[in-house]
Amino acid sequence: MTNHIAAASAPKSHYQLLDGLRGVAALMVVIFHTFEAYSPNHPLTQPINHGYLAVDFFFLLSGFVIAYAYDDRWGQLSVWDFYKRRLIRLQPMVIMGMTVGALLYYLQAGDAFPIIEKTSVIKVIAVMLIGYTLLPVPPSMDIRGWDEMHPLDGPAWSLFFEYIANILYALVLRRLPIRVLSLLTFLAACLLVEVAVFGKGGDLIGGWSVNATQLHIGFGRMLFPFMAGMLLMRLGKTVRVPGAFAVCSAMLIGVFCVPRIGGAGHLWMNGVFEAVCVIIVFPIIVAIGAGAGEQQGFSSRLARFFGELSYPIYITHYPLIYIYTQWAASHHPTVAEGVGYGILLVIAAITLAYACLKLYDEPVRVWLAKRFLGKRMRVPPGDLNSVTTP
């Protein structure tokens, strides 16, 4: 292992492989959600069973990258400057995701979402406008029936917690010495274990509803990995291995594809597995990815492509999943019968995300940066290309 602490005065390298790993995880989320249509209420039998752990991996990446980009820059920017940078990075695609969700909403009506046919256009527009702010929609405005805080674009719940993490970082976490941060990270690990091992489901599924149980799960999933990412960066520990991108990608995909452990009779066993993945395995993957430094060649180009696509595909794919879920609920296909449509969905999700990235997100962020940051506020390398995403 090697120490890697960037000096404040030195140009900062860009963690290309971490961007790429975020993209790999985001693509696995799309595939996970596609298969989920065949077992929406049966987490014990879902294919790619642990794909939802990508959210926890994203929070870990976010803590690492934000600490790396900003820890040594607080003499140059204010808390509001930081918030502006994060809003410019995240908010345009939040708006796009909600807009796509609203445009496709009525195409999702049917057996899976019977409430849609009874929902007025005015209510859909109201939910979309609230979604633009990323504030949770109150239960009285649930227009889908799944109790999601963002019923037009379900995965936006993790961005809600990402914003909370960013606020905590700017106000409190950035000021903490390593010992205090280590203690808080340990306590957060205990909370995560409590959610995973001793929760009713024996897993980390949840966080997307505005009620005490779901908020408890959401904070349990966000606090440890975000602070652990910060701590990993501050400790400066990285691991160098040959073929780091392939190794880390294989480790991530392997975790996501592990079948449910313990079955219905031993839920705690699966919880232990998930806690180990988030507390031990994911930090090791990030340490390996960070240890690779800046790369050249095919793996670098592949990582860059996946990294650029990761946030757009995460925040725009789920309206397509709603449509696919409705189709599966109406036609009851087997996985073999639906695989062709599933492949088309993944291709459509990638195409939609790439179009949003190039035609909307990048131009809008450039304009916003010029308008609200100014020339003197250079965006730190890696920041505008880094974000959590499930």
Tens of pLDDT, residue by residue over 260-307, are: 999 888 999 999 999 999 999 999 999 999 998 666 677 778 888 999
pLDDT of residue 122: 98
Chain Cα centroid distance, residue 256? 14
Report how far residue 169's alpha carbon sits from residue 373's, in angstroms, rounded to the nearest whole number.
20
Residue 249 lies in a domain: yes
User: Is the distance from CB of 292 to CB of 225 less than 8 angstroms?
Assistant: no
Which of the four pLDDT bands, split at 50, 70 and 90, describes residue 390?
Answer: very low
Beta bridge partners of 3: 237
Residue 164 lies in a domain: yes
Using the structure block, give the residue that is written with the tokens 């960013």: 166
Which of the four pLDDT bands, split at 50, 70 and 90, describes residue 14?
Answer: confident
Q: For residue 346, what are the domain limits?
A: 25-373
Supply angle C-alpha 64, 70, 73, rounded to 5. Answer: 155
Q: What is the count of structural domains for the chain?
A: 1
Contacts of 227 (CB under 8 A, 6+ apart): 63, 173, 181, 184, 185, 188
Residue 16 lies in a domain: no
Higher pLDDT, 302 or 108: 108
6: pLDDT strictly greater than 60: no
Query: Which of 189, 165, 197, 138 minimizes the C-alpha distance to 83?
Result: 165
Q: The tokens of 180 are what?
A: 């205090």
Pairs from 113-122 (Cβ < 8 Å, separation ≥ 24): 113/144, 113/145, 113/322, 113/326, 114/145, 115/142, 115/143, 115/144, 115/145, 116/143, 116/144, 119/143
Q: Which amino acid is at 63?
A: G
Over residues 132-143, mean pLDDT? 95
pLDDT of residue 40: 66
309: pLDDT strictly greater than 60: yes
* Burial of 158 per CB tally in 10 Å (0-12, 13-18, 19+): buried
pLDDT of residue 300: 79
Q: The tokens of 206 are what?
A: 């949840």
Residue 390 lies in a domain: no
DSSP assignments along 188-251, one per residue: HHHHHHHHHHHSSSSS-----SSSHHHHHHHHHHHHHHHHHHHHHHHHTEE---TTHHHHHHHH
User: Is the distance from CB of 381 to CB of 341 less than 8 angstroms?
Assistant: no
pLDDT of residue 38: 85
Residue 2 lies in a domain: no
Residue 388 lies in a domain: no
Residue 18 lies in a domain: no
pLDDT of residue 376: 42
Residue 92 lies in a domain: yes
Report how far residue 376's alpha carbon sits from residue 77's, in angstroms, rounded to the nearest whole number.
10
Report how far residue 282's alpha carbon sits from residue 61's, in angstroms, rounded to the nearest whole number.
9
256: pLDDT strictly greater than 50: yes
